[in-house]
Structures are given as C-alpha cells and as structure tokens.
Chains A and B, each alone.
Chain A
Amino acid sequence: MFKRADGDSRRSVTIHVEGQAVAAREGDTVSAALLASGLDVRRATAVSGARRLPYCMMGVCFDCLVTIDGVGNRQGCLVPVAEGMQIEIQKGKREIGK
C-alpha cells in the first residue's frame, strides 16, 4: 500500500507483529510501521467485528487502536516504534486483563 521514498537514512528498528519480525525505521509511529509492513494489520471493531485500518494518523479517529507490549487500546499513530516492541492486532473486544 505504501513504500518508503528514496534517501531515507534513518536507523532500522525491529518490531514484532503477532510474533513476526518487521523492520521499521526510527521515528516511525507504530501505525506507520504497520502500514509500511505489507502485512494484513486490519483490526476488528469491538461493536461488529468490521475490519479497519488507521484513518486519520493524527490521534483523532481511534481506528489505529492496537495492543503494544501487552497494553491494549493504544493509539498506534501516536506511539513511536522501539526496538523489540511486541504488537498485537486487536480482534474485537479486548480480552480483559490483557
């Protein structure tokens, strides 16, 4: 869907999406890294299970909600990636205590 433009010299950062290693760049937000990964990173809504991807990328729409290092319902578009970060795609209502 998206590709990286030429001349991006930022350091590579490895994150794990549902256990799979993904190369992101330092300064990417989690949502940007997910959209650049080429993986199926659609979440399922809590109301109907409909598939969604981030819509606004600026903290407004909450369609980027994602579980980061075990903490659910984080706005992926506001969180920068960090080495070793564990990302899980939210499928429906979050399991409580997760």
Chain B
Amino acid sequence: MTVRKDAIIVGGGIHGCSTALHLCLAGLKPVLIEKDYAGRHASGVNAGGVRQLARDVAEIPLSIRSMGLWERIGELVDDDCGFESYGQVLVAETEAELDACRVRVTDLNERGFTHEELIDGAELRRLVPAVAESCPGGVVSRRDGAAQPARTTTAFRRKAEQLGATIREGMPATNIRKDGKLWLVDVGTDTFAAPVLVNAAGAWAGRVADQFGETVPVETIAPMLMITSPVAHFIDPVVILRGRKLSFKQFPNGTVLIGGGHLAIPDQDRNETVLDWRKLSESARTVAELFEVMRSATIMRAWAGIEARMRDDIPVFGPSAVHDGLYHQFGFSAHGFQLGPGAGAVMAELIVHGGTQTRITGLSITRFQNSPPSSTT
C-alpha cells in the first residue's frame, strides 16, 4: 500500500524527531521512519550537554537559535526534558591554554557573538570550587546547561506524533527512490510517498547521501561515556577541558557523568559497540587529577552511542546540491544534541519557505564537492 505524506524523514534521533515536530507545527503531515526506536543511538545515550560553548563558528547561529528553544522547551514539547541551565565552563589547565581562550573570545566578539566570556582563576573557582588549584581560568557560557537526552528525544517524538506525524519504528527505510517529483520509501510491506525526503539517519546517513550521488567524508564513531554512583552535590555547571578530552557533569540525583570524546569500536551492522577500557581509564585519570574529590567515586556504567562524524567536524545541513526535495541533516560529529531543537525549526523553514533567517552557510553539503571521501561511509 502506498501512503502519501508531505515529507518522509529517515532517522528517529533528536534531529529527525525535531524536524517532524516543526513540520507538524507548520501544518504538514510527515512520516518519520526509525529502524530501531526513537533515541536508540547517539540521541538517547549522549552526555546531554546543552552547549553553545566552544563551537565551530559555522554552527554558532544554529546553536543560538536552538538555545532560544531550549529555554522554552516545556512549552514546545510538554516536558522540561530535565533541562537545567547552570552554564558550561571550559577549563584552561595552563597559561598557554588561557591565552588561546583569550584569542578565541576576542575573535567571537569581533564577529558579534557574546555568549562566551573569559574568566580568571577566581571566577573559575567560584563556578567550579572543586577544580584543581593549578588551573588559571577559562571560558564560561552562562546560558548553557544540560538535559536528559533519552527523555528529550522521546518528548520530541511524542509531541510530533500528537500533532499528526506518523512514527514508524522497528523497521528500516528501504528501497529509497525517486519517481518524478515524489520520493518513495518502503517500510516492510508499506510504501510512503512524499515530495520531501529528510536524511537524518545519523551514522547511517552517509549511505543515503552516497546512494543519491552525494558522497561525503563521513565516518561512524561511538563516543564513550560513564556515570558514577550518587555523591554529595559538589558542582553545578558542565565542565569541559581546553586541552584534554573530558566533559564532566553532576546531575540533580548526585550521579556524575564523565565523557569527552574517547571512542569505542562501533559495529554498525550489529547495533553494538565494544568499549575501550584503556581509553576510559584515561578519562578516569584526567578526572582524578582535576577533581581530587572524585577519586573514591564508583563507576556504575559505561556505554557508547553510534553516530556520524564529518571530516571537518561540523554537520551537513540543508538542501541537497543534486536533487530537488532532498534535505540533509546529519554528521553532527558528537555535538548535535543541543542543535536538535533549532535544527528542526530551521529545517522546517527550509522545507516550507525555501529559506531561513538563521545563517547556515558553511554547513552545506556542497563544501565537499570535488573532495575525495574518507574510508568509511
């Protein structure tokens, strides 16, 4: 049976769900196809950082747009998503790192961005009292925070469905093809047809782009995270390091999430990852050095989510350069969670109005034209 829709979204991560929701808000009836369940991979199991801090300049406008939505997330999806805004702090461990921070903040200010603020050692210790004495300062983005990723993705999915989106979970989108002006996608024995196809398939998106002649340098990664047992409250903001791979966040229930980008070995076809404990050990060592109080904490669980990383570490976002009606929204390179709400809103504008006020040049897939792809797709 062929079912006619206004748009077909492939991928039920935060991005696919957000785009589905915003298309519904614009009066369209999309179908979202997810081979597992919404939030099964990176969107459900990431660190939950809601961060404008330390982003590539090309994605800052999208991030700022998204921040506005995070600050009224309850109105948008009827769930506060566990969002808390205690700021995010980037810690410089040396004077040289602090100098680099100074250059960065000055550059942003010259471009008109004011969300990052240079802080000295005193302000750093006021914000993060437990940090090692040797750290000379850093950068803060005070409106940033953290949310609960699985709860957030689920909330977007639920709200989209309430507003009329069709959600198909548990079966992959297959046989994606174009017939005249319509995109056709099979899900089991059903076929969906729509003039718009959104490729939000995360780690699997490179294959879709490739199929339609837009080969891009994308690889599959699986950033690892671990969480401790509850400990007495000792830190409010999310902390990231300038020089080493570490992010650090204590939740209201006392548990502490440790991340930062060390990678597990992904097995995309098995939906699995094999953790690299020697790298997690490096994270543990960094935490122990920086926060002495954490040395006797207990690691409860560790995990990794599968996602796509572009060679230049910024996403592919916007219309296809080759096909009418095809839109890409993938490759968020381990920092797409905060962008989800805003990216869905902007994507809906691109689809419905053909354009957006939010500056997204620099994220277009055209930047990879005539460049050789990397090893994996």
Contact = CB atoms under 8 A, between A and B. Distances in A.
A93 B296 contact: no
B236 to A, nearest CB: 14
Nearest to B233: A93
A72 interface: yes
Contact of B232 (A47, A71, A94): A94
A46 B298 contact: no
Interface string B202-243: 000000000000000000000000000111101000000000
Given A46-B254, A72-B296, A73-B298, A96 B234 contact: yes
A47 B229 CA distance: 11
Given A73-B298, A93-B254, A96-B296, 8 more contacts: A46-B229, A72-B298, A73-B229, A93-B231, A94-B229, A94-B232, A95-B231, A97-B295
B294 interface: yes
Nearest to A95: B232
B292 interface: yes
* SS class, residues of chain A in contact with chain B: loop
Nearest to B231: A96
B209 to A, nearest CB: 45
Contacts of A93: 230-232, 254
Contacts of B296: 71-72, 96-98
Interface of B: 229-232, 234, 253-254, 292-298
Contacts of B294: 96
A98 B234 CA distance: 13
Contacts of A97: 292-293, 295-296
A96 B232 contact: yes
A98 B292 CA distance: 11
Interface residues of A, number: 11
Contacts of A98: 296
A68 to B, nearest CB: 12
A96 B294 CA distance: 7
Contacts of B295: 97
A61 B358 CA distance: 52
Interface string A75-98: 000000000000000000111111
A94 B296 CA distance: 10
A72 B231 CA distance: 10
A71 B298 CA distance: 10
Contacts of A72: 296, 298
B129 to A, nearest CB: 12
A22 B268 CA distance: 55
B288 to A, nearest CB: 12
Nearest to A65: B229
A96 B232 CA distance: 6
B229 A96 contact: no
A94 B293 CA distance: 12
A97 B254 CA distance: 14
A91 B20 CA distance: 47
- Lowest 5 CB-CB distances: which A-B pairs, in order? A96-B231, A97-B293, A46-B230, A96-B293, A96-B232
A67 to B, nearest CB: 10
A12 B294 CA distance: 36
Contacts of B229: 46, 73, 94
A47 B253 CA distance: 8
A48 B177 CA distance: 54
> Which of B234, B254, B292 has the most CB atoms of chain A within a 10 A radius of its CB?
B254
A47 B230 CA distance: 9
A57 to B, nearest CB: 20
A96 to B, nearest CB: 4
Nearest to B294: A96
Nearest to B292: A97
Contacts of B231: 93-96
A94 B232 CA distance: 6
B325 to A, nearest CB: 50
A79 to B, nearest CB: 15
Nearest to B253: A47
B132 to A, nearest CB: 14
A73 B229 CA distance: 9
Contacts of B230: 46-47, 93-94
B207 to A, nearest CB: 43
Contacts of A96: 231-232, 234, 293-294, 296-297
Contacts of B298: 72-73
A86 B170 CA distance: 53
